[in-house]
Amino acid sequence: MLLLSQMHWVALAMLARFSEALYTAQDYAVSPDLLPGLSSVQDPNLIPQMYAGHIPLGPEDDENVGNYFFWKFHDNSGRASEKANNTLIFWLNGGPGCSSMDGALMESGALRIDSDGKAYLNEGGWHTRGDVVFVDQPAGTGFSTVGANKKYDSDLLDVSQHFLNFLHNYFHVFPDDLAKNVILAGESYAGQYIPYFAQAILNNNSEEESTKINLKALLIGNGWMDPNRQSLSYIPFAFQKGLIQKGDSRLSKLLNQQELCQNKLNSDHDDRFSFSECDDILGVLLDVTRVMKDSEGKNVDTNQQCTNMYDLRLKDSYPSCGMNWPADLPNVAKFFGTTGVIEALHLDSEKVPNWHECDDKVSGHLTNPTSRASAHILPSILESGLEVVLFNGDQDIICNNLGVETLISELSWNGEKGFTVNMQYYDWMYKEEQSDNITSAGFVKYERNLTFISVYNASHMVPFDNSLVSRGIVDIYLNDVELVQEDGGDTLISESFSADDSTPQLDCEGVDKDSEECRALATEASNTDVDEGEGDENQGNKETDTEDEDDEDDEDDDDDDDDKEDDEGDEENDSEDEVNSEPSKDSHRIKVAIVSMSISAAIIAGLYFMFRDRFRPKLRAILVDSKTKSTQRKKNVSWASDLEQDAGDLKDPPLASKQKDGYSNVPTEEPRGSFELDDL
């Protein structure tokens, strides 16, 4: 115990020593004039304030210390709300080993890149909902570098410690950010990173000597959280989407692979991160769904033979099956290859490699011999009070909705398993700012700190498909959405650019938005410090608003009494005023009557809001379709025999192993896992 204590103080001393040598925020400032394309932006105020560069993971004089590359975006237009100005989002892409510049320049970032390699503004950038920091990690990913010893992280526990080191040094460079509410966000294999990083932050905050990080929520898109069980979702999901049919001549091999995975999970009780028997299901599925000839017997174009594992609406060449996606990827490489861009981001072009999306050395080393899949630590994170939002594009195969919802059904937290009958369900709509058109964006489920959001017509990379709609995910967490309650159900409406805190949409629900009462509630809400994650506190704010209105009315009454005394004094000292006093008295009586009626109305409204809020669902709840019946997962695949009617042997060779730069093999890619089959 003494040794551990000594090691702890040594670590703190080392952190203090190398943090003293760090640069200031101004040293990391990025000039937009140095980035190709931004000089053509007509309104410079729309260009975000940017910071970028390397932050070391240890003492800078230690040659074995790696560096994380970050790129931060801060809204410079003045449109951001107070909540946004107090929110800090760290975005992480997956892989493992895939650069978060995917997120910065193709998804939730403030910029997009055109085919000429030039940057332009992304209207749906998340930076208007909070400062967003994109981080290349683990070391060796993107522009992040390993030390001279070329040591790569092999376990999620190592990655977590290094990310914690990065955070401590980041907050040394940007001390004002330490007071902000922190959100960890990302997608795919970040479904492993984010829960582990959250646990590391919670452990850090429990240490008296440590700098506290104000972590509030986790936002995980199409997360890869339980490789084995999510892999078991592939076949039922493929049947659900019509990708495979009964009687397919190659179906038997696919079902046999499913059986191997399920039997492995039933018989093996070790804590291995993943099993190859489960990893191989996706590869076989992509082979089974391969189409080489059309209905007329003609050869299909080679680039259209295989279903894209990240977006089932698209096709790709075989065996890539999505590895050549998304289409914007070459644009990003061209942007970073433009002369001067690397230097503008405060990088040494001689010390960092040419940018490529993913690094196979990172994925090859990160085998997790010690760590279990992150699904095992999600319950404790939920029970800590953190909000966890799992959002999923419904067109993704590799980390599909069915697998994630089944994962949720198997989780136990706060004394319950999965979503219960108390789960709250909302339809989710999106409203365009200019046209006021409202379209269906998805649905939301919520219970006990856990939110599941299904995003309609979206792929594995939700913000890539529609960044404006995806930004509504942050709005849902921040409660910056409109709640419409009707007999047919409850609906959440997010807008392309939501109102700021001076006119909060939710504080006027159930009240005429043009009324004095609504404006009073909105004014009071703008001055109230609201914790974004707690529905109960929202209720408390409504009650406080009503009490404040009563106080204001009382003050108005006192002021009126003072006015009356002044009028009476004027009557005694001025006969001319006495002549005009009668109309003044009548006017005063009317004012008193109005004030009395206002007080009564305020009391009635207060009681109404109090009882209504107590007995109706809170906004923070958002989850399950009540029309969907839950089914028990079977622990065997005996049902599969019914599907093998007329199924022949699998004659084509299995899916070849191919890597997408840093993505894992098609059979073992970041989103590969296991999931149990329903009764089809």
Catalytic residues: 188, 396, 460
Q: Which two tokens stand for residue 517?
A: 């009462």
Tell me the angle at which helices 156-173 and 2-19 cross, rounded to the nearest 10 degrees: 40
Residue type, 605: A
Beta-bridge mates of residue 616: none
Beta-bridge mates of residue 215: 182
CA–CA dist 394, 397 (Å, integer): 8
- Please classify residue 410 by burial: count the beta carbons closer than 10 Å to its beta carbon, then call 0-12 exposed, 13-18 middle and 19+ buried: middle
**Upstream peptide bond of 175 is cis (omega within 30 degrees of 0):** no
Q: Which two tokens stand for residue 598?
A: 């206002």
How many CB atoms within 10 Å of residue 50? 22
**Upstream peptide bond of 138 is cis (omega within 30 degrees of 0):** yes
Torsion, Cα of 423, 426, 427, 433 (10° steps): -150
Torsion, Cα of 574, 579, 584, 585 (10° steps): 100
Residue corresponding to tokens 């919802």? 405
| HSE value, Cβ hemisphere, 13 Å, CA-based, for 427 | 13
CB 619 within 8 A of CB 494: no
CA–CA dist 138, 240 (Å, integer): 36
CA–CA dist 398, 44 (Å, integer): 40
CB 191 within 8 A of CB 361: no
> How, if at all, do strands 119-121 and 131-136 pair?
unpaired
How many CB atoms within 10 Å of residue 605? 17
Residue corresponding to tokens 């590969």? 672
Which has the closest alpha carbon to 326: 669, 660, 666, 671? Answer: 660
> How, if at all, do strands 489-495 and 416-417 pair?
unpaired
Cα–Cα separations (whole angstroms), residue 297 to 52, 304, 646: 54, 15, 21
